[in-house]
Amino acid sequence: MDNLLDWAYGQIIGFLGNFFAVMGNMGVELFGLSWVQAVVTFFNQLGWALFAVSVVVSAFECAIEYSAGRGNLQQTALNILKGFLAVSLFSTLPVHLYSLSVTLQGKFSAEITGLGTSIGEVGRQIIEDFAAIGSLSELMEAGVASASHLGLAVLTSPIMLIFCIIAMAYAVLKVFFANLKRGGILLIQIAVGSLYMFSIPRGYVDGFTQWMKQVIGLCLTAFLQSTILVAGLLAFRTHLLLGLGLMLSAGEVPRIAGTFGLDTTTRANIMSAVYTAQAAVNTTKAVAAAIK
C-alpha cells in the first residue's frame, strides 16, 4: 500500500510540475503569435537603426579623438563588433534561452517525480519488496518503520493542518502567478533591450550588461522556482515541515537572484533604457548640428 500511495502521490506532483512546464511553454508560444512577432520585428528594426546611427557617431568620435592624438581604432572596431553581435541576437537568443529553461524544468520534474511510471512497474517493485522479506516479524518491522517516516506526526491539532494547507496553497499560487506573467516580462525586456543598441558601439556596455543579467535571472527563476516547488511537494509527505520550507523558499528565488545581480524586475532596466534613449537623441542632434 505504501508503494501504491507513493506512486499515486508522485503522479499527482508530476502532473503539477508538468502543468507549470506547460505554463512556461505558453510564454514561449506567446512569441509565435503574429502580432507579437510584429512587435519584436519593430523593436529589432529599431535596434538596427540605433546601431547604424551609433556606428556613425562612434566613427565621428574616433576621428575627433584621433585628430587629437588619442584615437584607438582597434577599440572602436571591437566596440562596433560587440554592437553587431548584440543587435543580431537580442531579439532571438532570450526566447531560445527561456524555452531551454522551461524544457529542462519539465524534464527534471518528470524525472524526480516518476511521472509516466506504469502500474506494472509499481507491481514489480512490490513483488521485489516482498521477496526481500524473510519472515512475518520482518514484515511487521518494515511496516512500523515505514509509518514512522511519515511526516504527519507533527499534525497534533486541526489548526496545524489548516496552517499547512494555507502555506501550501500560498506557495503554489505564488509560483503559478509568477509563471503566468513571465512571457510578458520577457517581451518587455526584448523591447527595452533595443534601446541599448545605441550605446554599445560607443563603448558604453554597462546598461546592456545589466539587461543580460536580467534575462539570465528570468530564465534561472523559471527553472528554479517550479523545480524547488515540486521538490517541496515531494518532501511534504515524509517530512512535512521540511517540504513546507522548500515550497515557501521557491517564492524567494527572484529576491535571492536580485541580491547577486540577476534582478528579474524591469523597473531599473526601463529607467536605464530611457536615459540611454535620451542620450541617443541628444547626441544625434549634436552630430546633425555639427554637420550643418
Q: What is the per-residue pLDDT across 97-110, written as a single tens digit (0 to 9) for each? A: 998 988 888 888 77
Indicate whether 130 pLDDT > 70: no
CA–CA separation, 55 vs 134, rounded Å?
80
- pLDDT of res. 144: 47
Q: Report CA torsion sign: 172, 176, 179, 181.
A: negative
- pLDDT of res. 88: 92
Average of per-residue pLDDT values in the chain: 76
Higher pLDDT, 134 or 198: 198
Higher pLDDT, 206 or 141: 206
Instruction: Convert the pLDDT of each residue in 10-63 to its tens digit.
Output: 677 777 777 777 777 777 888 888 988 999 999 999 999 999 988 988 888 888
Residues 6+ apart with CB under 8 A from 62: 71, 72, 73, 76
Phi, psi of 213 (to 5 degrees): -65, -35
- pLDDT of res. 157: 67
- pLDDT of res. 93: 92
- pLDDT of res. 158: 72
Quick one: pLDDT band at residue 172, thresholds 50, 70, 90? Answer: confident
Whether 226 contacts 20, CB under 8 Å: yes
Higher pLDDT, 276 or 173: 173
Report the phi/psi class of residue 180: left, alpha or beta, with left for phi > 0 and alpha for psi in -120 to 50. alpha
Instruction: Output the pTM of the full model.
Output: 0.73
Higher pLDDT, 196 or 127: 196
Higher pLDDT, 112 or 221: 221
> Per mean pLDDT, which range of 15-24, 140-149, 181-190 is the poorest?
140-149
